[in-house]
Structure 1
Amino acid sequence: MSSPFHIVILGGGTAGWMAANLFAHRLQDEAVQISLVESPDIGIVGVGEGSTPTLKRFFSDLNIPESVWMAECNATYKVSIRFSGWSPGMGPDDYSHPFISQLDTFSERPFHVNCRTRRLGLDVETSPDKFLFNGYLADKQLAPVTPENFPFRIEYGYHFDSAKLGEFLKHRAIKHGVNHVQTQVESATTHQNGDIAELTTKDGQHLAGDFFVDCSGFRALLLQNTLGVKFRAFKENLFNDAAVVLPTGAMKNPPVETRATALSTGWCWQIPLTNRTGNGYVYSQDYLSADSAEEELRRHLGLLDADIPARHLSMRVGQTEQHWSHNCLGLGLSQGFIEPLEATALHLVQIGIETFLDAFLEGGMTNKNQLSYNKAMSERFERVRDYIVAHYKLNTRDDSDYWRDNRNNMTLSEPLLQLLDVWYRKGDLTQEIQRQNLASHFGSTSWHCLLAGYGTFPPVAPNQPGTGDLFEENALEEFFTRCALNFAPHTRHLTGK
């Protein structure tokens, strides 16, 4: 090893610069030099993007106030995801999956109990947004910024321009000592033991390092091409492999939720930013051509005659067999990608960096904990994949082969099969999630949101006792409505007016 220990990050974008900032922050007391190499000629996949609440922790850990970064990245607040048109056969036109906050301590158990009661045939309230406080903020278009006199922590994410966020994080990382090298890397060479030795650039530079982070996108120059780590596709149960993107104007009153609307061969996201609205149609090329997808998206947005250029993106859904191989860590698209439903891409990047830094430092900056890290990250991807697969498996649309084939697909993991079996057998889903140790991925309340939101219940029994609805008995609507009086409109926080 050299002194100082040299970490080389290949590729910028949100993943690369997020890694650079977290590495610089966590390793500031170590004898470490950090360089990020990116080509000024290679663009990034910069679109309107949504996050989970983990991103709030990222900015908090780095002591970056929302007032500093949000305006620069055209960001808005996000408290939930609303799904429209996924399960018309079971009744609900749409449902929401609100982020779970400390305040929901009072309502999660009533929600779980009501879902089980409804599975037994009783006609009780099971709408997720009725039981979770962020559902009320979304309905009233209130920002989740917690007043000083409000004693509960509210969890939320953001919508933002990913290209602008990458730029913001780049300037911060450079300010904190990260060496920015602008050149195009063409290849990498290895030592006899298989470790990466150096990167060779188009202009003849040789960049040596002790540890490398591959953020080179789907081309995965280091992890897959140089080290030969194999990629395992999720194509057998996640069909989507492409997207077409079209921006529209900014909304006058941007909602605090992402919308995911089912279309003929996939779904369309709607992400409200302060300067525009991001829209994209995620679909499968096995069922729909790129031209047809663009036409359908334009029709959905009312833009058939508008002269707005569309961007077409390809996706490779799956994960590498190892996320950390030799002296190289894969992050972002180079390590794997699960389609954008539920906004898990950046979440997995952040978890990947944080978990790696813990393992790397505990192991004395060696490969001591490589095996356990790879197992943990692979499990993360698998379980996130299961939750996304469930959206497609449980759909009740009948307007195309795409939706029917998704519903009839039996290539499901054993953990997912067991969860669905417990639900349909009217068992205790929370207990099953605890038995499988799944709570660190999508917890019990998230699974209840999905299954109840889709209306996966038996017919209501003919004789109703008229009691047993914990939503009514606990007066949850009044409780949450009064709590919401403490919060201000979303637009007021964005504009200051």
Structure 2
Amino acid sequence: MTTQDSIKKILVVGGGSAGWMAALLIAHSVKDKGIQVSVIESETVGVIGVGEGSTPVMKRFFDTLEIHETEWMPECNATYKSGIAFDGWSSKPGHASYFHPFVTMVDNLTMPPFIENVKARLQGADVCALPNKFFLSAQLADSCLAPIADHNFPFFTTYGYHFDAMLLGKFLRKKALQTGIEHIKAHIDHARLDEKGNIAAVSLADGSELAADFFVDCSGFSALLIDKALKTPFVSYADNLLNDSAIAMPTDICDKIPTLTVSTAMKHGWAWKIPLQNRYGNGYVYSSAFTTADQAETELREKIGMLDSDTPARHLKMKLGRVEKHWNKNCLAVGLSQGFLEPLEATALYLTQMTAAIFCLFLEKGDLSEQAQQVYNQEINDYFDGHRNYIIAHYKTNTRTDTEYWKANAANLHRIPDSLKHIFSTWLEGRDLGDEIRRQNIEKYYPIASWYALLAGMGIFPDAEKKTTAGEQHQQYPLGDFIQRCALNFQDHRSFLAKQKPAM
């Protein structure tokens, strides 16, 4: 199989957000080319739906399919997201909490002073270098403002979303059926390979078979095709990322709807708090090597005020890592079947989207050769590893000493990627971090502003007693007043959502 002409039927195995997202992107890519896209979905297999947040790239998905926010957001109880607050990750004075912003056009004006202060702080100057003070999105999140400005505000704002993952999967399925994607309800027993080792068909529980020319494995952690059938090797991230378990619970939401995810450091991991239109999504990501499931659940219930509640908690196990080949023979793995990074930076659907979208570029060119597979797999592996490195940096730079869990994360030197070592050394030596990130060509995974926000937010600076007053002029920027005035162009989040009307 070397060209698109050899494909007449593509079968997506598994539904959920990953399956229907992949099906929609592929069907959009091959429309008018005579290729049938079908999704087979078992009614007996539940959807995991870990995480209820996105990066700003998700907007590109809906824009590609011409699905307006007023159409999908109400159906998924979705809200806007301006960034992520990290509470309690650092024990350094003044850095108990920091904000990782989604960068806006206004930040072209405020980012240079931030970088100047960071450079001065690294030289020992006693100046403010907390990212919260320099980014408009931090002000929007702090004031519960929707990140979409009035028409007279000339700056574009970048944002992500929070949503109910179950409802999102149902919405995407509805849109897929409207576009002519075939929906097959059946349970797959196993896959049958041909004499060349390609997948020939999937065998169903009733003994029948479904054949196709190309298969997309969206079967979740089961990985029915990419693992069980094709035996694709798996690269574990467990050496550097210690968390392997999670608990999820809902709580009521207040009148004000925040526009941020909150990640709070716990004894043996971290807790998320995600605002939807109708509730908060709460969870605890932790390492089972340091605590039990019961202990973790008690700790989460205490945090969210549900200790005496009979609301059930949902326990999940996580397998962190990725396959060596996301595209193997005539199968593409998308979603949890291809790999998973813990939901610290809400990357799950981002990686799902990029995996499908980049494959579509090869499909559109008609190049399905072995060389194309090699190029593709290297690019997707780089996406996974690049995001992994950024997540590792959160744990490696923590300064907590209250539990063995946090000490182990800070002391974790086992196979720290060279890319990350170079970033740390560049930062600590006061060299230009942007130059290093561009040299490594990793800005497409996380922009320069994100790295500055992380390292400055965690307080990776000289000790307080070593500070000088040199460079104090760097902090004399009247940014607070400027950012607050910019925020006057944005509306209350809940009120904005309530006034949304379907696009004409």
Question: In which range does the TM-score fall when normalised by the shorter chain?
Answer: over 0.9
Look up the match of 1:343.
Answer: 346
Distance of 1:115 and 1:262 partners within structure 2? 24
Look up the match of 1:329.
Answer: 332
Look up the match of 1:420.
Answer: 424
Q: Partner of 1:96: helix, strand, or coil?
A: strand
- Residue 435 (str. 1) matches residue 439 (str. 2): yes
Distance of 1:89 and 1:180 partners within structure 2? 54
Segment of structure 1 superposing worse, 256-265 or 58-67: 58-67
Distance of 2:467 and 2:95 partners within structure 1? 21
Distance of 1:102 and 1:169 partners within structure 2? 31
Structure 1 contact 4–33 (Cα < 8 Å) conserved: no
- Residue 464 (str. 1) matches residue 469 (str. 2): yes
Structure 1 contact 90–454 (Cα < 8 Å) conserved: no
Measured at CA, do residues 463 and 33 of structure 1 come closer, stay the same or move farther in structure 2, by a change above 3 Å?
closer
Distance of 1:222 and 1:472 partners within structure 2? 59
Look up the match of 1:401.
Answer: 404
Q: Partner of 1:88: helix, strand, or coil?
A: coil
Look up the match of 1:386.
Answer: 389
| Superposed displacement of residue 466, structure 1 | 6.2
Look up the match of 2:210.
Answer: 207
| Superposed displacement of residue 147, structure 1 | 2.3
Distance of 1:47 and 1:394 partners within structure 2? 25
Look up the match of 2:270.
Answer: 267
| Superposed displacement of residue 109, structure 1 | 2.3
Measured at CA, do residues 153 and 11 of structure 1 come closer, stay the same or move farther in structure 2, by a change above 3 Å?
same
Structure 1 contact 251–272 (Cα < 8 Å) conserved: no
| Superposed displacement of residue 458, structure 1 | 0.4
Residues 285-320 of structure 1 show CA distances to partners (whole Å, capped at 9, x for unaligned) of 111111111111111111111111111000000010
Q: Partner of 2:191: helix, strand, or coil?
A: strand
Residues 54-104 of structure 1 show CA distances to partners (whole Å, capped at 9, x for unaligned) of 111111111111111111001111001000010014541111101012221
Distance of 1:146 and 1:179 partners within structure 2? 39
Match of 1:29 among 13, 28, 32: 32
- The aligned runs of 1:94-493 (5 Å cut-off) are 94-411=97-414, 412-460=416-464, 461=466, 463-465=468-470, 467-469=472-474, 472-473=476-477, 475-493=478-496
Residues 104-137 of structure 1 show CA distances to partners (whole Å, capped at 9, x for unaligned) of 1112222222111110011222121222211111
Q: Partner of 1:100: helix, strand, or coil?
A: coil
Measured at CA, do residues 129 and 89 of structure 1 come closer, stay the same or move farther in structure 2, by a change above 3 Å?
closer
C-alpha RMSD of the superposition: 1.6
Q: Partner of 2:332: helix, strand, or coil?
A: strand
Q: In structure 1, what residue type is equivalent to 2:332? A: L
Q: Partner of 1:49: helix, strand, or coil?
A: coil
Q: In structure 2, what residue type is equivalent to 1:456? A: I
Structure 1 contact 360–369 (Cα < 8 Å) conserved: no
Q: In structure 1, what residue type is equivalent to 2:435? A: Q
TM-score, normalising length: structure 2 = 0.95
Q: Partner of 2:443: helix, strand, or coil?
A: coil
| Superposed displacement of residue 204, structure 1 | 2.0
Distance of 2:271 and 2:113 partners within structure 1? 32
Q: In structure 2, what residue type is equivalent to 1:422? A: T
Match of 1:68 among 67, 71, 92: 71
TM-score, normalising length: structure 1 = 0.97
Instruction: Indicate the percent of aligned positions where both proteins have the same amino acid.
Output: 46
Structure 2 contact 120–127 (Cα < 8 Å) conserved: yes
Structure 2 stretches lacking a partner, 5+ long: none
| Superposed displacement of residue 239, structure 1 | 0.4
| Superposed displacement of residue 366, structure 1 | 4.7
Q: In structure 1, what residue type is equivalent to 2:78? A: A
- The aligned runs of 1:73-92 (5 Å cut-off) are 73-92=76-95
Q: Partner of 1:269: helix, strand, or coil?
A: strand
Q: Partner of 2:163: helix, strand, or coil?
A: strand
**Structure showing greater relative contact order (alpha-carbon pairs closer than 8 Å, 6 or more residues apart):** 2
